[in-house]
Amino acid sequence: MPIPSSEIIVIGAGVNGLACAARLAGQGHRVTLVEAASAPGGAMALAHLTPGIDPRVAKDMDLARHGLTFHPELAATLLSQNSPHLTVRGGEASGGDLDPTEVAAFRNLHKRLSRFAAALAPFRAMTPPRLAAKGNEWGKLARLGLGLRAMGKADFREFLRMILINAHDAATDELTDDRLRGLIAFDATLGGWLGPRSPNSLILYLNRLAMGGALVPKGGMAAVAGAMAQAAQAKGVTLRLNARVARLLVEADQASGVELDSGEKLHADLVVSAIGPKATFRDLVGPRHLDTGFYTAAGHIRARGATARLALSLTAPPDFRGADPAGRLIIAPSSEAVERAWNPVKYAGVPDRPVMEITLPHAHDGGPPRLTALVQFAPHDPADKAAAKARMLENTLTVLEDHAPGLSATIGETEFLMPWEIEARYGLAGGNWHNGDLAVEQMLFLRPMAGAARYDTPLPRLWLAGSGSHPGGWVTGAAGWNAAGGILEALR
Amino acid sequence: MSYDALIIGAGHNGLVAACYLARAGMKVCVVEKNDWIGGAAVSRELFPGFTYSNCSYVSSLFRPEIMRDLELPRHGLQILPYEGGAVLTRNGGYLAMFRDHDANRREFARHSPRDAEAYDRYSRDILRFCRFIRPMLMRTPPDPSRFRPRDLSELAFLGRQIGALSEGQIAAMVRFWTMSIADFLDEYFENPVIKAYLAVSAIIGTALGPMSPGSAYVLLHHYMGDVDGNVGAWGFARGGMGAITQALSKSLAAAGGEIRAGQGVDQVLVEGGRAVGVVLANGDEIRARRVISNMDVKRTFLGHVAEKDLPGDFVKRVRAFKTRGSSGKLNIALDAAPVFPALPEGSPMLKGDLHFTDSMERMERAYDDWKDGQFSRDPFQDAMIPTMIDPTMTPPGKHFMSCFVQYAPPKIAGRDWTDADRDAFRDTCLNQIEAYAPGFKNKVLHVEVRTPRELEAEVGLTEGNIFQGELTFDQLLFNRPVPGYADYRSPIRDLWICGSSTHPGGGVMGAPGRNAAAEILRDAKLGTRGMRDAYPVL
């Protein structure tokens, strides 16, 4: 028997909103995707790389047919100011002065962590289990536990030891090369609000390994948004741009639609919010329709961005002392250097020597020389924002110049976004990439918060589908896809 | 001459284990390298007429079940609870602390009415976490990678504990265990001084700052003790912390056990894959049916066992076991009580712990110095004057002051501490106190300065880590000290470990020694009838 079709509004045409809307429409529901901006994509524009769109999403939306293709996976080049650069491709590190035993140690560590990541991957694809539910949720958890145990006794023990360890210790215990340690420290903390010495940081590295490598879409991030929007529309999604939602409509204690900025009211059987959970509960719903304790807890969702984004147009291609321009260029000379860049941000200060990940878009798609960089760590709420921004930019450019002598003289246009500007432009709470810190205490059944971790919310007919929900952000669409699964199950 | 059990190290855990084994009928000998006993729970006269608790300085965690089992009050142990405490603030004010929840609440209200409200909620939540974790202190952690009946039954026990909670409670608990204390307190409180006071327990002894995830658990670790049933209360041992180990040694003597002080162990004797005794530093051999080490796991296996007798993976894990020291201490003989003009005269605040750090940010910055390999320029000090309550430690009118200091690294910028470093460290700490108690320095008769270097050399704590190993999840429960060896056993048959390197970790708690004894008695088929289970939290 066919499922009766429902009228569904999805708020926010970012990667998760698009994935969610497309999956729902694909099952015969009438889906309207409302987006405040004039183009789809949301915070995708902030990224310069993607670990790859979740294979479930890519397949169902047939994104390849809609023109989405990627350049070959990028190797990481670990830039050095005075010694040879190292190149890391998967678990293989190479470079002039690297000791063979260190190469083997890195390979072994990468293999082991990849096995852990593979064991965690199924968690990413699931709706977080309920903990105290009747029924078979505990059985499901036990099965997952046994699945982990299947990796063998030695690995399982190491897994339990390392699951909440910090990235610095994990890297330092196994490796001696500062640059390789720096890579793990950097990759573990990119997009987060923690340093490599913070406990619970290695799991973020495992999460990245579980997602995949570093890919540049042909045509840039805008091409991802374009392909996904086209695919969603092909499935019947109605996309409404320039439509900012002012508030949620609630009738009889149930979500019943949205009211746009323009005053226009859209009614629906279900509303799915693919924007941040904090904004959803605190701004769109408001305290009237939520339990006080829940409303307060929603205010406690921690969302602190610590990543700035730099985009430069250049008059000449930069030369990072011979580094492959098509690589993912990392400036993180050691794990300690990453930690030192983190320290001042705890007090809303600016690091002297920021660490960063650089891509050179012209090396992939041609066109005039450009540089993008994700720079860490940047304060999200300093007292003097203008001064903090100026200092952060200055320090960033100094580090760049040190690694690519002469670069400063070739800078044309500069766009530099601090976390609060990222928040203003993309609506990401606190400028945090994941619309809520991706940290262990906000993961799985605690993401974005207890009581709303299974994509449904205490307000009937309101659902969540954004990166604030499990399994968090990055340009993959996993959260939106999972959410649609939960919604479809509920409608069945 | 051969013993049933030979214990290396007369610290509190070694003595607790010895007592239980002796009471079960074993012939027990404890050997101690120092001429005195007690390990890090000692009272020593280091200045004429003054008794110092020169290492550990507070009793809260010591399990009351053990006190009763071993009849320690009968052997002279008396715990005196703190009567107050205070945080002195930079602006000349203070936040006072009392024994009574309602009095604290009123004091909080003076700083923030909203925080006074939150204090009830906070205390209730913390108590719930304590209630959950308490029973686990006195049990051997299960090995989740194995399916032995005991592992399965312990896992089932854990499952039942969790199953008794509501979904919301489970969520709250998992968050608490993984969060930083700074984030956790931010959810309850707004006043920086109140937060700084409450965050203290989360950083004491650890190489973490208040903003490090996982630091909230450390708070619980310090909170799960009690004095006279007051959960979270701290107290002094009358006569100094040595009173605990002295009472244990008397209890041991009463059970027929023997202690040999001044007899350091050189090597554990291993024959045919079994531990059969020890060789002392003086070359003598003592043979025993089993050997139990109260030394930390690194010192035991890297220092006193031949590497060839151990599996390579095990040695690698032991080497990587984190024992980074983070604390130092000043032990001060005072000619007269210090005067803190900010505190009301005659208040009970001097009868407890005094802090001079009025924000979590200052604590975190102190930690940043440690990460850079320096001692904190603006350190956090937990200072107290036990002689305000206990007159037995000094001549009349004089005082002993104990200042516990965070943070002090095991090495200064990668090199060993020098005497000049130590002096600079001392001056930094004394000057901080002087700023709140003018004239304080003039009252100082003698100072003993303890950096991680001294803690390692004297007590034997590797890198001066007071917990014999960091209290982060990778080193807790079934991971402590090494995955697969959380049951107090080692790869060598009949060689056991019973110190704070084992579950449930550091603090003068006695639980590791007790749990190790329980495993040994089970292994020897002697039963554990003389051991109480953990008392519930009421």
A456 shares a domain with A312: no
Nearest alpha carbon to residue B216 among B194, B201, B196, B232: B201
* Over residues B245-256, mean pLDDT: 98
A335 shares a domain with A446: no
From chain B, the residues in CB contact with A154 under 8 A are 313
**Do the domain assignments include residue B295?**
yes
Number of domains in chain B: 1
pLDDT band at B363 (very low <50, low <70, confident <90, very high): very high
Assess contact for A416 and A265: CB atoms under 8 A: no
CA distance A70 to A67: 10
Distance from CA of A447 to the nearest CA of B (A): 10
Least confident segment among A444-458, B84-98, B131-145, B315-329: B131-145
pLDDT at B179: 96
A67: left (phi over 0), alpha (psi -120 to 50) or beta: left
CA distance A390 to A233: 42
Query: Could you say which of A211, A228, A262 is where a domain stops?
Result: A211
Assess contact for A215 and A50: CB atoms under 8 A: yes
| Strand B380-384 relative to strand B399-406, pairing | antiparallel
pLDDT band at B265 (very low <50, low <70, confident <90, very high): very high
Nearest CA in chain B to A194: B212
A421 shares a domain with A320: yes
**Do the domain assignments include residue B281?**
yes
Nearest alpha carbon to residue A433 among A382, A472, A389: A472
Across-strand partners of B352?
B84
**Do the domain assignments include residue B157?**
no
* Residue A260 belongs to domain with CATH number: 3.50.50.60
Averaged confidence pLDDT in chain A: 95
Checking if the pLDDT of B537 tops 80, the result is: no
Give me the residues of B, 149-168, that contact A with CB < 8 A: 163, 165-168
Secondary structure (H, E, C), B87-150? EECCCCCEEEEECCHHHHHHHHHHHCHHHHHHHHHHHHHHHHHHHHHHHHHCCCCCCCCCCCHH
pLDDT 10s digits, B78-124: 988 888 899 999 999 999 998 888 999 999 999 999 999 999 999 99
Residue A130's φ and ψ, nearest 5 degrees, are: -80, 150
CA distance A41 to A58: 15
**Do the domain assignments include residue B307?**
yes
User: B376 vs A347, B368, B399, B429, B455, CA distance in Å?
Assistant: 17, 8, 26, 9, 18
Assess contact for B201 and B223: CB atoms under 8 A: yes
Nearest CA in chain A to B364: A346
**Do the domain assignments include residue B330?**
no
Domain containing residue A151 = 104-211
* Over residues A421-425, mean pLDDT: 97
**Do the domain assignments include residue B15?**
yes
Number of domains in chain A: 3
A175 shares a domain with A159: yes
pTM exceeds 0.80 for this model? yes
Residue A311's φ and ψ, nearest 5 degrees, are: -130, 125
From chain A, the residues in CB contact with B172 under 8 A are 450
**Can you spell out the DSSP letters for A255-322?**
EEEEEETTS-EEE-SEEEE-S-HHHIIIIII-GGGS-HHHHHHHHT------EEEEEEEESS---STT
- Indicate yes or no: CB of B168 within 8 angstroms of CB of A200: no
**SS3 at position A85:** coil
Residue B83: half-sphere exposure toward Cβ, Cα within 13 Å: 13
Checking if the pLDDT of B398 tops 90, the result is: yes
- Which pair of structure tokens corresponds to residue B54? 């020169």
Residue B30's φ and ψ, nearest 5 degrees, are: -110, 125
pLDDT band at A3 (very low <50, low <70, confident <90, very high): low
pLDDT 10s digits, A369-421: 999 999 999 999 999 999 999 999 999 999 999 999 999 999 999 999 999 99
Domain containing residue B25 = 2-40+63-76+239-321+469-523
Distance from CA of A438 to the nearest CA of B (A): 12
CA distance A22 to A233: 8
- Which pair of structure tokens corresponds to residue B128? 């719930």
Q: Is A105 on the interface with B (CB under 8 A)?
A: no
pLDDT 10s digits, B489-508: 999 999 999 999 999 999 99
**Do the domain assignments include residue B69?**
yes
Distance from CA of A161 to the nearest CA of B (A): 5
* Residue B514 belongs to domain with CATH number: 3.50.50.60
**Do the domain assignments include residue A78?**
no
Nearest alpha carbon to residue B238 among B251, B230, B253, B227: B227
CA dihedral B144, B150, B155, B156 (to 10 degrees): 150
* Over residues B260-286, mean pLDDT: 97
- Residue labelled with tokens 């284990």: B17
